[in-house]
Amino acid sequence: MATRVALITGGMGGLGETISTKMADAGYRVAVTYSPSNKTADQWRADMKAKGYAFEAVPCDVTDYDSCKACIDKVVKDIGPVDILVNNAGITKDTTFRKMDKAAWDAVIRTNLDSVFNMTKHVYDGMMDRGWGRIINVSSVNGSKGAFGQTNYAAAKAGMHGFTKSLALESARKGVTVNTISPGYIGTKMVTAIPKEILDSKILPQIPVGRLGKPEEIAGLIIYLCSEEAAFVTGANIAINGGQHMA
């Protein structure tokens, strides 16, 4: 069997990078997307190559349907049809609803939710025709429980799982699974940059296991969902949050 091709959106970010490297370690051919405004992409490629990872890295505006099509066309041309799609790209623009403007709402919905349609649409038919595929949508614990100051983000992340459940029903008989994972607080650069006193007093007390999650733990769950052993898992929302929220 040919090596399967995995495409990870936002693959140059803290969590995305770990997902990408761990999937490469597991034997997948990995392509990543990055924002066209990212000025560090060439350096990232060089750094990854020095570590032994020759990723296909493609600029893509995930909010733009045509940009997503061009990205996937390039991946297909350069390394092959996409077998696995990890919709990981996302942003936050946090503020209370009273202070939230339309631009903050639109930016988060377009990047976190519209992107899932834009990317999935261009790989779905190929997966269905080949009779195998894995679509994994990276949501958030806050999409399940809500969060103060995140009406836009929580709405987008909850919407991802509505998408997951409906598409899973349509694709189940063709060997294409669609799942959501909902991480809690993960020890990425963004989270570990939070002042220690805030982490210790406000965040860690919410987490029964008493620590941040590891990016490698998220990647491990994704690798499982990509496996043949996970073929019976579809339409699920798997919480990976250290017990912070139990549904």
Alpha-carbon span 100 to 105, nearest angstrom:
7
Please provide the size of the chain in residues: 247
Catalytic residue among 28, 34, 124, 153: 153
Give the strand order in the sheet containing 133-138: 56-59, 29-34, 5-8, 84-87, 133-138, 176-183, 237-240
153 is catalytic: yes
Q: Identify the three-state secondary structure at position 226.
A: helix
The whole-angstrom separation of Cα 124 and Cα 75 is 14
φ/ψ (deg, to 5) at 187 = -75, 60
| Catalytic annotation, residues | 153
